[in-house]
Amino acid sequence: MIDVEKEMQPTISGTAQVMSKMIDVANVDAVFGKPVEHGETVIIPCGEVAMGGGMGFGSGPGGTSEQGKLLTSAGGGAGGGVNARPIAVIVISPEGVQVKPIIDTTKVVLAAFTTGAFMLYWLSQVGRITRTARGKGLSFTRLKRAIER
């Protein structure tokens, strides 16, 4: 098992380095883009960056060979994700500096639809419960009374 881990060590350290470098990419340069000159204005895009990743490695007994030797098996996995979205642009002109926000309409509309659907569902449930309690709908009390008759 130890031999397998030793053999796999370069791969593990290489993957860990790649993972570490990937996470380190989310520095200030990734959040604030390169200034773009356009006529008499300079535009600096800025956005939010989120990155995460992880890796794992394990080894264990892998049965016996035809010669009766004990075999070991090893395996590993790595995964990660990146999320980046624009937040605003900084406009520098001879008149001054302005921060112009960027709104993601799709996300806002989706949030509005989801909230609206949740509200409708919740309010319909509340209305149903209230009607049932008033005796206009189905209730266990009415069902019990019907059985007793």
Partner 1 sequence: MQQQLRAPGWHIGRTRGKPFTAFGMQVVPIGFAVHVSWPGGGFTWHRPVAVEVRHGDDVRRLAIHDVTLEAIVSIVMTGIAIVILSTSWKRWIHTKRRNIS
10, 54, 63, 68: residue in contact with partner 1 (rule CB under 8 A)? 54
Residue with smaller CB distance to partner 1, 28 or 147: 28
52 interacts with partner 1 by CB under 8 A: yes
Helix (H, G, I), strand (E, B) or coil at 47: strand
Helix (H, G, I), strand (E, B) or coil at 38: strand
Torsion of CA 24, 28, 29, 33, to 10 degrees: 140
Give the residue among 76, 75, 84, 21 at the shortest CA–CA distance from 53.
Answer: 21
Which residues touch 53 (CB under 8 Å, ≥6 apart)?
19, 22, 23, 78, 79, 80, 81
9, 11, 64, 130: residue in contact with partner 1 (rule CB under 8 A)? 130
Residue with smaller CB distance to partner 1, 70 or 123: 123
Which residues touch 93 (CB under 8 Å, ≥6 apart)?
40, 41, 42
137 interacts with partner 1 by CB under 8 A: no
Q: How far is the CB of 98 from partner 1 (least distance, A)?
A: 8
Torsion of CA 90, 91, 96, 99, to 10 degrees: -40
Residue with smaller CB distance to partner 1, 71 or 84: 84
Q: How far is the CB of 93 from partner 1 (least distance, A)?
A: 7
Residue with smaller CB distance to partner 1, 71 or 112: 112
31 interacts with partner 1 by CB under 8 A: yes
With CB under 8 A as the rule, give the number of residues binding partner 1.
57
Q: How far is the CB of 17 from partner 1 (least distance, A)?
A: 11
